[in-house]
Structure 1
Amino acid sequence: MTRTLAEPEEERLERRKPGGGVVTALLALVSLGFLAWAALRLAGMEFDRYTVALVALTPYALLTGAVIALLALLLRRWLTLLIVGLVTVALAFSVVPRAVSSTAPAQGVALRVLSINTYFGQADAAAIVDLVRQHEVDVLSLQELTPELVGRLDAAGLGAELPHRVFHAGPMADGSGIAARYPLRELDLLPKSTLAQPTALLQRPGSPPVEIAAVHTLYPMGADTYSRWRQEMIDLGQLRLTGTPRVLAGDFNATLDHARLRSLIGTGYTDAAAATGSGLRATWPAGWFPPPVALDHVLTTPEIAPQSFDVFPVSGADHRAILATLVVK
């Protein structure tokens, strides 16, 4: 009589799972990659250009975790489902609230702020002026403002719409500027930065004065630019809140998942996009590769209440323009 040895219980259960051990190993490998990616955001780990890039893609990590968890459920890999599911939920608590509006109608004076990175001054000047005119913009923040673009903006009629300006135009990405419907007095709020970041006091009749900063921190993805980007983000966070309403508008080269931007917001600012439920609307690139992320922001101090936020493509620019409607209380 032939005797058969009893198959070990754990091997029998593994064999019964769809795909067997090979699928288990592949799913575990993919899950480990996801967990490492998620850990960067959850632990606030940014230490070079590569981790900065991965953190910027956190909303895509959330989607990845959801897909892996669904696969683990369908394939009955319960431990993988538990671990990946918990981490995905943790990411969701970080990402989802920015897509839910927390604003309430506020009493005060409306202030419409438009900001755009003009891609080395190549953005369509007429399209920018059309946005200003169509949306009755009060303040325009321009990054990568070149002397040539200034000439084209003037030819398109910017001066008639926004006659007051503090422009620090420069070659390539160096320049930035602020144009406004009401008088501006140049300030010196920020330390010297790689790219121009002018600041000014907007003096509007019937409203408290408002400090405006055209933000453009250095692109952190170069071989030697991460540390400078980090320092410039820290410098923004060291701006003391004095009770004077303030708007920081521009290209921060950071998303709401970056620890440096979260630290800045934690000093007392509100992100207008997140407050109005538009925090997942991408602003760069203008196309679909690399995966679009939100690098451009309008931040406000407690004396200002965001009311709406929108995003617009502009021909010739690699960033989308952002428009925030605010109320100065």
Structure 2
Amino acid sequence: MIVDLPERTTGSRVRRTVDALCWLAVAPGAVWAALRLAGVDRGPLVQALAFTPYVAAWSALPLVLALALRRRWPAVLAAVTAVALVGVVAPRALDSPQPRVTGPTVRLLTANLLAGAADPAVLVDLVRRHHVDVLVVQEFTPGALADLDRLGLDQLLPHRQLNPLVGTPGSGLYARFPVSEPGVRQHRGAWGFTQAYATVAVPGAPPVRVESAHPAAPYAVDQVDFWRADLAAQPPATPDGPLRILAGDFNATLDHSPLRALLRTGYVDAADATGQGLVGTWGPYDGDPIPPVTIDHVLVDRRIAAQEVEVLHLPGTDHRPVLATLRLPAP
């Protein structure tokens, strides 16, 4: 009788190694999905979760590997992971039903000017070419104000509520239509970002409160509490009251629970509603090798129909402007 123990031992060792490698390939995505679904965005996880769409796109690979290697339980976990991640991300690329409204159409543009470094001529050209009715800006400086007026923005959008400041805290709102009840919200975060707001009187529609949103950026762990507090301080929607639009640099994606909580008050993300929710608005536009993420948003009252969203290009800033075409309800 011949007993081939070395071959059996080697085969068993290979199987264990393949099993371990398979689990190692599947586990990271499963952990990521669990954190995303549980809304565990704390500390360094805040930055990481912004890249959830990329993890969702990658999630099919571990499943293919597990199936190819005929590893049942890793394949089951990989399938659940892929379904979970794709399930929360894919709807952003699909249109969703909009309210049937008969009021006027408004074109709103939001742009982060990177401490006033964005090209003012291009911004004014965007306003002119796209027939923008309302413009909200962040990181708005006195220099940017002077340049924009010199280039004719004061003629295109004569009504305004502006808070230009040196550096990054400044904010502004320009409108084609008269504004009332203007003001400035001051955040308590380390950067002290401000948010200009006003009620815009669009002919043929109820008054709309528009605000230029700019909560703190979670660029480091010690800034996460400021980020969370600033998002919590955003004005909630008022489904039974006046119409509201929040537009700007939220420093958050739809994979961050504080932004989702704000949406649950009665807002709709216009890009998400029009199938443009996966188009990046911040990332490599100033040269940094960072995959684009979607942190600039136009949040509208659920009674407002989001008809179209386009992400544009503005030299001189690390953000891309977001243009939303919105239809308001009739009075």
TM-score normalised by L of structure 2:
0.91
SS at match of 2:206: coil
Distance between the aligned counterparts of 1:238 and 1:114, measured in 2? 21
Partner of 2:35: 40
CA contact (8 A) 2:281 2:296 kept: yes
Q: Does 1:66 align with 2:60?
A: yes
Distance between the aligned counterparts of 2:186 and 2:144, measured in 1? 25
Distance between the aligned counterparts of 1:311 and 1:124, measured in 2? 16
Distance between the aligned counterparts of 1:47 and 1:90, measured in 2? 20
Q: Does 1:271 align with 2:269?
A: yes
1:213 deviates by 0.5
Partner of 1:313: 313
Q: From the superposition, tell whether residues 81 and 161 of structure 1 become closer, same or farther in structure 2 (CA, over 3 Å).
A: same
What code does the residue aligned with 2:256 have?
A: H
Question: After superposition, where does 1:1-329 map in structure 2 within 5 Å?
Answer: 1-3=1-3, 20-48=15-43, 50-104=44-98, 106-188=101-183, 190=185, 192-193=187-188, 194-236=192-234, 238=236, 240-287=238-285, 289-329=289-329
1:238 deviates by 4.5
1:273 deviates by 0.3
Structure 1 unaligned segments of length 5 or more: list them.
Answer: none
SS at match of 2:125: helix
CA contact (8 A) 1:114 1:137 kept: yes
1:75 deviates by 2.3
Distance between the aligned counterparts of 1:65 and 1:283, measured in 2? 23
1:144 deviates by 0.3
Distance between the aligned counterparts of 1:298 and 1:37, measured in 2? 27
Distance between the aligned counterparts of 1:189 and 1:128, measured in 2? 23
CA contact (8 A) 2:218 2:251 kept: yes
What code does the residue aligned with 1:24 have?
A: D
Q: Deviations over 1:15-61 (max 9, x none)?
A: 7xxx744343223223222222222211100111x111111111111
**Identity fraction in percent:** 41
SS at match of 2:245: strand
Which stretch shifts more, 127-136 or 285-294?
A: 285-294
Q: From the superposition, tell whether residues 4 and 314 of structure 1 become closer, same or farther in structure 2 (CA, over 3 Å).
A: closer
Structure 2 unaligned segments of length 5 or more: list them.
Answer: none
What code does the residue aligned with 2:325 have?
A: T
Distance between the aligned counterparts of 1:239 and 1:307, measured in 2? 19
Measured on the aligned residues, the alpha-carbon RMSD in Å equals 2.2
Distance between the aligned counterparts of 1:176 and 1:278, measured in 2? 25
1:7 deviates by 8.1
Distance between the aligned counterparts of 2:139 and 2:61, measured in 1? 39
1:98 deviates by 1.2
1:204 deviates by 2.3
Distance between the aligned counterparts of 1:237 and 1:44, measured in 2? 21
CA contact (8 A) 2:158 2:175 kept: yes
Which stretch shifts more, 213-222 or 103-112?
A: 103-112
SS at match of 1:197: strand
Number of aligned residues: 323
SS at match of 1:236: coil
TM-score normalised by L of structure 1:
0.91
CA contact (8 A) 1:233 1:260 kept: yes
